[in-house]
Structure 1
């Protein structure tokens, strides 16, 4: 019988899987398994070696320093966004990811903010318009990712999915979209299917991991097959990226991810005779 095929483009994050391998081998293994590849900070990586793997790169970090609201931070963000676009051209990477502010090596904001003021909101939207213009000139899309404040990224401005969506909607450019991270959204807001519905016109990508633990689908409380079915019903056909640790084995984590985001996969496996 013909096994079902996912209606989505599936990608996986090489920063969090196959941790016992050199980074370039992680990328190659994910690509061998039939997934597109996502990476974070590109500055310490061998770009030529990554290109030589033949992998399709779905997403990479779109800045190195800076933020959306401080004058010096804005200049730094725009400068490193231009540098990131040059690397994205080498990798032919379609999307470049942003956050509300720069994050340090532990994922904490370099400029923590308790409350974003109205002036900060206006400045952030203006900065993101300038980022979108850079993306348009280069023919690539920047995405703004929501984060969670309770566990991983306390003090990050514009972190909630509702905040990120509001900024992307305000800019309203096809070169600035939302990276809806459902792991972060579950911790911060919940109501994930309705959130997907509201964000649908502005989505550039969806990222997933289970809660708690940030491991692959099926290891926590989120019923990802139901979310996959809802996204399919909504007509979403874009990228779903696994940004998770592997609970035990990275191959098994990718299998679980593919199954969760391939409606009908469980039923097909159940009736497939043994080889």
Structure 2
């Protein structure tokens, strides 16, 4: 099994300027993931020489209301242009636009059948953008119990249903196991079910959202399951360091060795 291990520059080495975080993660031998590109100096990020595996693929919008869909499509197109500059293959999406606190800009607590149909249609349009650009959009599952209450289409089962409905290789799941553990559990069974639709796996431990080994998820068993299933894609550490970011990277690498 050959995995690409990546780490979020948003959550590690937070005392450093952002470009230095990216450079240090790269020097440690990991690929890099970023969130909102509009707050970054894209040319400075390019100059680090880092390999970028994913970035946020929109700035605002939603999957279901007309104004939100228009914003989502427009800012996805902007994001694709930045992804080309960074040579970043994957762009991350959520069930709706999130604010800086991780909460939905417009919370949704009841998802209707019409909203499901509209969301699938919007994602077909997003996948077509990715296909033309040669990039993949990733729909990430979130948890609503701790971090993202009011986010529609948040469960891994929800993102899987939408990705399957669209059935385009330029739309895949970002299966975040931290969020899935809080929302649904049974992670190894989820891997077996969803892996054909997965474009990336993100990890952090529960509780606390820190590196593997700090909580209840036995990540060596997860790595073993990925090995048995033949997964050879990206695994991204999207978590905080409990004490030290270099130690967190060491623990992450050891869990997936």
TM range (shorter): over 0.9
Alignment of 1:256 onto 2:251: yes
- SS of the equivalent of 2:108 reads coil
What CA distance in whole angstroms lies between the structure 1 residues aligned with 2:96 and 2:109?
Answer: 13
Is structure 2 residue 239 aligned with structure 1 residue 244? yes
Could you tell me which residue of structure 1 aligns to residue 208 of structure 2? 213
Partner residue, 2:193: 198
Partner of 1:17: 12
> Gaps (5+ residues) in structure 1?
1-5, 263-275
1:170 positional shift: 0.5
Corresponding residue of 2:65: 70
Which whole-Å CA distance do the structure 2 matches of 1:199 and 1:168 have between them?
Answer: 10
Gap regions ≥5 residues in structure 2: none
Counterpart Cα distance in 2 of 1:177 and 1:42: 21
**Structure having the higher Rg:** 1
Is 1:53 matched up with 2:48? yes
Deviations 1:207-231 (A, max 9, x none): 0000000000000000000000001
The answer to whether residue 186 in structure 2 is matched with residue 179 in structure 1 is no
CA shift, 1:178, in A, is: 0.2
Q: Quick one: which of 141, 157, 160 aligns to 1:165?
A: 160
- Say what the alpha-carbon RMSD is for the aligned residues: 0.6
Of residues 117, 120, 129 in structure 1, which corresponds to 2:115?
Answer: 120
SS at match of 2:142: coil
Structure 1 segments (4+ residues) deviating >4 Å: none
Q: Distance in 2 between matches of 1:22 and 1:144?
A: 29
Q: Using the alignment, how far apart are the partners of 1:220 and 1:161 within structure 2?
A: 21
Question: Residue 30 of structure 1 is aligned with which of 19, 25, 29?
Answer: 25
**What displacement does 1:7 show?**
2.4
